[in-house]
A = this chain, B = another copy of it.
Amino acid sequence: MIKLYEYPSSGNCYKIRLLLTQLEIPFERITVDILKKESRTPEFLSKNPNGRVPLLELEPGKFLPESNAVLYYFSQDTDFFPTDKFEQAQVMQWMFFEQYSHEPYIATSRYWISIVGKPEEYKQALEQKQPLGYAALGVMENQLKDHPFFGGDHYTIADICLFAYTHVAHEGGFDLTHFPAISAWINRVKEQPNYISITE
A: residues with CB less than 8 A from B are 49-50, 52, 58, 62, 64-70, 72-73, 76, 85-86, 88-90, 92-93, 95-97, 99-101, 103-104, 138-139, 142-143
With the chains together, A126 CA to B142 CA distance in Å?
33
- Cβ A73 vs Cβ B49 within 8 A: no
* Given known contacts A64-B93, A93-B65, A93-B66, A86 and B100 CB-to-CB distance under 8 angstroms: no
| Minimum C-beta distance from A88 to chain B (A) | 8
A49: which of B85, B89, B95, B143 is its contact (CB, 8 Å)? B143
Query: Which 7 residue pairs spanning A and B have beta carbons closest together?
Result: A73-B89, A69-B93, A69-B92, A66-B96, A66-B93, A99-B100, A49-B142
A90 and B64 in contact (CB under 8 A), knowing A49-B142, A99-B99, A139-B50?
yes
Contact A49 B139 (CB under 8 A): yes
The smallest C-beta distance from A107 to any residue of chain B, in angstroms, reads 11
Known interface pairs A50-B97, A97-B66; A89-B103 also in contact (CB < 8 Å) = no
Q: Nearest Cβ distance between residue A133 and chain B, in whole angstroms? A: 13
Interchain CB contact under 8 A, B93 and A96: no
Give the CA-CA distance A71 to B102 in the complex, in Å: 21
Instruction: State in angstroms the CA–CA spacing of A90 and B115 once bound together.
Output: 30
- Residues on B with C-beta less than 8 A from A100 are 66, 99-100, 103-104
Q: How many Å from the CB of A87 to the closest CB on chain B?
A: 10
Q: Which of A58, A72, A88 has the most chain B CB within a 10 Å cutoff? A: A72
User: Chain B residues with Cβ under 8 A from A92's Cβ?
Assistant: 66, 68-69, 72-73
Name the CB-closest residue of B to A56.
Answer: B89
- Cα of A97 to Cα of B70 in the assembled complex, Å: 12
Q: Can you spell out 19 A-B residue pairs with CB atoms less than 8 angstroms apart?
A: A50-B97, A50-B101, A50-B139, A64-B86, A64-B89, A66-B92, A66-B93, A66-B96, A66-B97, A67-B96, A68-B96, A69-B89, A69-B92, A69-B93, A69-B95, A73-B85, A73-B89, A76-B85, A104-B104
